[in-house]
Structure formats: C-alpha cells, structure tokens
Copies of this chain bind each other. A is one copy, B any other.
C-alpha cells in the first residue's frame, strides 16, 4: 500500500489534518536520523522544477538544499514574473511545460488560488511554496515540526504570536495548522496590523484566540513566542512605526520575563524584532527552525516521490 502523499499535491494547509501532519513529522524524524548515503537514494536522478513568481531566495534554497540532500537536482525560474510572462505566456502553459521537465513542481505566486489552478494543469505533483495572502503550507509544517520537536508536544501549549499579523501569509497558515491542536493562542499586534477578521472567521471556529496590543502583559505565560517582521512600508507615519517597532522588540530584558523553557521562533528574515544577543540563549530556536525547514521539505519531497514512503 502506498503512502498517502505519493504523487499528491500540497496546496493548502487546510487540506492537512493531525494524522497527515504526523506522517510528515515521522518522515522528517527518519530523514534526520538517516545516513547521508541512504538519504541520497530517495530522489536519486529525480528533478525538482521551481517557478517563483515572487522572489523568495530562502524558501527556494531550502527546497533546493532538501532536494540535493535526497540526491536529486533542481532546475527552474527564480524570477518567473520577469522571465516567463515577458513573452506573454500564460501561467498554465509555464506550469505545464515545467512539469514536463520535472518530477515534482514547486510554485510561489502572488495570487490566491494560483497553486490550486496550477496543480490542475501540471503533469506532476505540485507543492505550494507560498501563494496569495494566506497560504504557505510548508512554512506551517516546519513551524509545527519545530514546536513538536523542541517542546515535545503541541497540545496544551500556550503560544504567543507577535508582530505584523495582517500582511504575513505565514501567520494565517500557522493558525490554520494550529487549529488541529488543543492550544491556547494569543495574538499581539499594533491595532493597524491586527489579523484580518474576514480571514480568521473560519480559523476562530476551531481555534479561539485572544488578541491584544501589549506584548509584555502575558509574556510570562507563553511556551512558544512566534515573532514576525514589522515592515516600515506598512506605516503611513514614521513616528508610529518607530513606536511600534520599539515596543515589540525582543531583547535580553524581555527574556527575563519569559518561562525558563519557552522558545522563540521567527520565520526569518528578521530585521531588528529580535536582538542578536538573544541568538546565543537557549530560547532562540529560529535558526533551528530554518534547519527543520530543509528537513521537513526533504521529508515531503521523499513522500511525494516514493510510493512506499520512507
């Protein structure tokens, strides 16, 4: 009997549930434990084709590193918006042709629904590497894996999510994913960067969360503090930005108020939301998280490409 993910698309975090997450997590554990020689048999001679209509060097390299660790090759277009559409080709044709050259496709696109549409025309399984305003399923998977690995569980945790909750697709995907677990979620953001009510209507049904603007207020309760970037461009007023930026900055002083075994996560890149002094403390898990990004993506690729799983 084949594994569930064999030749499947990964389009939306909403298509996955606890059981499917467990399959990916267990595969990731195995990938990490494997010898390099075993690992590089999992995609030997296979080709990953990527199409990035939005630049995302980090996500792209994470997939390329994952594919290389499995013994496979990556080819593709890092700036598909300029190179492909320059000749006026439709997304459907670009995806179709790329899928003829590859064994699995990775797509990043600015439009909601682009991945679902692309998967329909693709001749090969397609992984959504970020689309539209809400979907970044592989980021949510690596976030969950990081929590599970570093806290040994997900259920029962108190999780603070802080920063720009309005514009980051990462946060929406994470909240959808967390809806599968019994967690206590607290969202902290400046009023102008609150999570969008229309998007969270569905999330709220499964994952009731609290909202506030003051980070320090509940800081001593969190098991996980998930920090996101606040971008200057989001503010009309420079003073407003400066104020917000300062109040959400995690430095050594903040750590003293946190639980001893709390962890700090960040999807990266960071600006100065987290002070560099924090990096060498046991709280800091954002680089570990980036490494798990490679590992979880390797696991996903291995499951998609190998009928018997790993």
Cross-chain contact of A97 among B45, B58, B101 (Cβ < 8 A): B58
> Is A212's beta carbon under 8 Å from chain B?
no
> Is A68's beta carbon under 8 Å from chain B?
yes
Instruction: Flag if A97 contacts B290 (CB, 8 Å).
Output: yes
Instruction: Flag if B65 contacts A102 (CB, 8 Å).
Output: yes
Q: How far apart sit A299 and B76, CA to CA, in the bound complex (Å)?
A: 21
**Also in contact, A101 and B45, with CB within 8 A (given A84-B57, A87-B269):** no
Instruction: Flag if A61 contacts B89 (CB, 8 Å).
Output: no
> Is A271's beta carbon under 8 Å from chain B?
yes
Q: How far apart sit A290 and B57, CA to CA, in the bound complex (Å)?
A: 28
Residues of A118-147 contacting chain B, CB below 8 A: none
Residues of B within 8 A of A101 (CB): 61-62, 64-65, 294
Q: How far apart sit A68 and B61, CA to CA, in the bound complex (Å)?
A: 18
Q: How far apart sit A96 and B279, CA to CA, in the bound complex (Å)?
A: 11
Instruction: Flag if A45 contacts B69 (CB, 8 Å).
Output: yes
Nearest B-chain residue to A60, judged by Cβ: B75
Chain A contact residues: helix, strand, loop or mixed = helix
> Is A254's beta carbon under 8 Å from chain B?
no
Instruction: Flag if B96 contacts A77 (CB, 8 Å).
Output: no
Instruction: Flag if A271 contacts B57 (CB, 8 Å).
Output: no
Q: How far apart sit A163 and B299, CA to CA, in the bound complex (Å)?
A: 47
Instruction: Flag if A100 contacts B47 (CB, 8 Å).
Output: no
Q: How far apart sit A198 and B150, CA to CA, in the bound complex (Å)?
A: 52
| A93, A96, A98 interface centre (most CB from chain B within 10 Å) | A93
Nearest B-chain residue to A97, judged by Cβ: B290
**Also in contact, A45 and B55, with CB within 8 A (given A61-B98, A77-B61):** no
Query: Interface digits, A98-110 against B, CB 8 Å rule (1 contact, 0 not)?
Result: 1011100000000
> Is A88's beta carbon under 8 Å from chain B?
yes
- Name which of A34-42, A177-185, A220-228 contacts chain B: A34-42
Q: How far apart sit A64 and B100, CA to CA, in the bound complex (Å)?
A: 12
Instruction: Flag if A93 contacts B270 (CB, 8 Å).
Output: yes
Nearest B-chain residue to A269, judged by Cβ: B89
Residues of A67-86 contacting chain B, CB below 8 A: 68-69, 71, 73-77, 83-84, 86
Instruction: Flag if A68 contacts B75 (CB, 8 Å).
Output: yes
**Other CB < 8 Å A-B pairs besides A40-B44, A61-B101, 11 of them?**
A47-B69, A61-B77, A65-B101, A68-B75, A84-B269, A87-B269, A89-B269, A93-B268, A96-B287, A100-B287, A100-B290
> Would you give 30 A-B contacts (Cβ < 8 Å), ordered by A?
A36-B45, A40-B44, A45-B68, A47-B68, A49-B61, A55-B83, A57-B83, A57-B84, A61-B76, A61-B101, A64-B101, A65-B75, A65-B101, A65-B102, A68-B73, A68-B75, A73-B73, A84-B269, A87-B269, A88-B271, A89-B268, A89-B269, A89-B271, A90-B276, A92-B276, A93-B268, A93-B269, A93-B270, A96-B287, A100-B294
